[in-house]
Amino acid sequence: MTADGHVPAPEPAREDGEDGGRSEAQRLAAVRATLARIRIAGFKSFAEPTNVEVRPGLTGIVGPNGCGKSNVVEALRWAMGETSAKAMRGGEMDDVIFAGTATRSGRNLAEVTLSLEDAEGLAPPPNQDQPELEIVRRITRGEGSAFRVNGKEVRARDVQTMFADIGSGARASAMVSQGRVSTLIQAKPEDRRQVLEEAAGIAGLRARRHEAELKLRQAETNLSRAEDLLGQLDTQRQGLQRQARQANRYRNLSGFVRQAEGEWLAILAARAGAAGRLAAEQLAAARAGVRAAEAEAERAAIAAFEAEQAIPAPRAAEAAARTALERRRVEAEGLEAEERRARDALAGAESRLAQIRRDLAHAEGVLRDAEAARERLAQEDAALAAVEGTLPRRRDEAGEALAAATDAVAAAERAAEAATVEAAEAAARAQAAGEARATAEARLARATQAHGRLHAEHEAALRARVPV
């Protein structure tokens, strides 16, 4: 695929011995090739097909600004193989297609056709003998562009090389645009050399040389890749040889194994035949033994039947004896059960007797404890009675002490009153009276405490008294 997005056609086959595909006469004829007309359809501002005739001599296009004069030159460069959308004043190559206006709808394809005359030997085969060439470049929106020469699809490189052979092309110095002259004056030596090569008509050879160098480098790359593949294939060949040797060895060993298995199976078959014959002999012997045992069993059955017929009376006696023995056994079991029940009843009676004796001993102990408690309570009652007899006397003593204390308090109060009246004169007596009052109050407090203590003891004695 080229830089402008179109898919080139396969390169036409060339005959051996061609020097660039043309003879010297054909080269001279190619130099005389001239542009006769340009047909533009759908390219930029050319919505409708337009033919531009290029007459001998100087052909000019006159018109106001914006009428599309430069679009004609861009169409010529585009048809010669221009691949840069920027050189076409666009962002992408699809921008060269007529986009439409307010009154016209856009187009989906653009086409530019260049007609060359006296071009025999210029085009690549099979058009190298055609005196007139019609070079068409068509672009479809979203699909890229393609080149055709006289209806045959060719590569973009072929078209570029063809125009380089006549000293022209999309970027040739013959295409002089605005600022091109100043660029050529200030150009570097390499760029000037390119101009001279185009003027000498060898630009096509240079392009072919570059293409040949690319092909040579590609061939070298392919050769290096082929050598790598050859090394890989050699490694694979060695691995396959090793696997082949292993397969041969496996095949030989498999033959030996199959032969050994056949011999082993033959031995097993012989052993199985011998074992079968031995088993048949043992079966025949066993059948003979079975027949003898059956005859012996038949004789034993006959003897048992005769013996059974001969002993009916002993069997009846045996049945009667067995019945009597069973009756005696049942009676013995009943007697044993009665004996066990009697023993259990005796054991229960003895247990109850022992329990009664233990209860009697416990009751006697409780009675002795009750007697001792009764005697102790009697002693405590006597002691309480004695304490109760002393309580009235002690209560009277406490009453007397209280009365005395009361009298003493009254006397102290009287003395205090007298001392208050005579305070200025009898300070000492007032102090004595105060001391006497304090002493009396202390005695009163002690008497009150003693009275309370006696009362508490009396109440405790009354509560502790146990009635007899």
Q: Show me where the domains of the chain are located.
A: 24-170, 318-464
What pLDDT digit, counting tens, does each position of 259-280 carry?
Answer: 888 889 899 989 998 988 898 8
The pTM of this model reads: 0.41
Q: How confident is the model at residue 195 (pLDDT cuts 50, 70, 90)?
A: low
CB 384 within 8 A of CB 465: yes
Task: Check pLDDT > 90 for residue 414.
Answer: no
What pLDDT digit, counting tens, does each position of 27-40 carry?
Answer: 555 557 788 899 99
pLDDT at 395: 73
Q: How confident is the model at residue 388 (pLDDT cuts 50, 70, 90)?
A: low
d(CA 242, CA 247) in angstroms, rounded, equals 9
Task: Check pLDDT > 70 for residue 254.
Answer: yes
Task: Check pLDDT > 90 for residue 114.
Answer: yes
Q: Is 167 exposed, middle or buried (0-12, 13-18, 19+ CB in 10 A)?
A: buried
Q: Which tokens sit at 434?
A: 């105060």
The per-residue pLDDT of the chain, averaged, comes to 78
Task: Check pLDDT > 90 for residue 374.
Answer: no
Exposure on the CB side of residue 443, measured as CA atoms within 13 A: 19
d(CA 26, CA 17) in angstroms, rounded, equals 15
Task: Check pLDDT > 80 for residue 391.
Answer: no
pLDDT at 407: 77
Q: How confident is the model at residue 421 (pLDDT cuts 50, 70, 90)?
A: low
Of 103-107, 418-422, 445-449, give the range with the top mean pLDDT: 103-107
Which CATH number does 24-170 carry? 3.40.50.300
Task: Check pLDDT > 70 for residue 197.
Answer: no
Residue 307: left (phi > 0), alpha (psi -120 to 50), or beta?
A: alpha
- For 397, other C-beta atoms within 10 Å of its C-beta total 13
Q: What is the mean pLDDT of residues 128-155?
A: 90
Q: How confident is the model at residue 89 (pLDDT cuts 50, 70, 90)?
A: confident
pLDDT at 410: 73
Q: What angle do CA 205, 209, 213 make, to 5 degrees?
A: 170
Q: Which tokens sit at 224?
A: 């290096």
Of the two residues 211 and 314, the one the predictor is more confident about is 211
pLDDT at 308: 75
**24-33, 74-83, 97-106, 283-292: lowest mean pLDDT where?**
24-33
What pLDDT digit, counting tens, does each position of 270-312 carry?
Answer: 999 898 889 888 888 888 888 888 888 888 888 888 777 777 7
* Residue 139, strand partner residues: 110, 145
Contacts of 153 (CB under 8 A, 6+ apart): 9, 146, 147
Beta strand extents in 118-269 (DSSP E only):
133-140, 144-149, 152-154
CB 63 within 8 A of CB 69: yes
d(CA 111, CA 98) in angstroms, rounded, equals 11
Residue % of the chain over a pLDDT of 70:
76
**114-118, 163-167, 398-402, 430-434: lowest mean pLDDT where?**
430-434
Of 135, 109, 110, which is closest to residue 122 (Cα–Cα)? 135
Q: Is 187 exposed, middle or buried (0-12, 13-18, 19+ CB in 10 A)?
A: middle
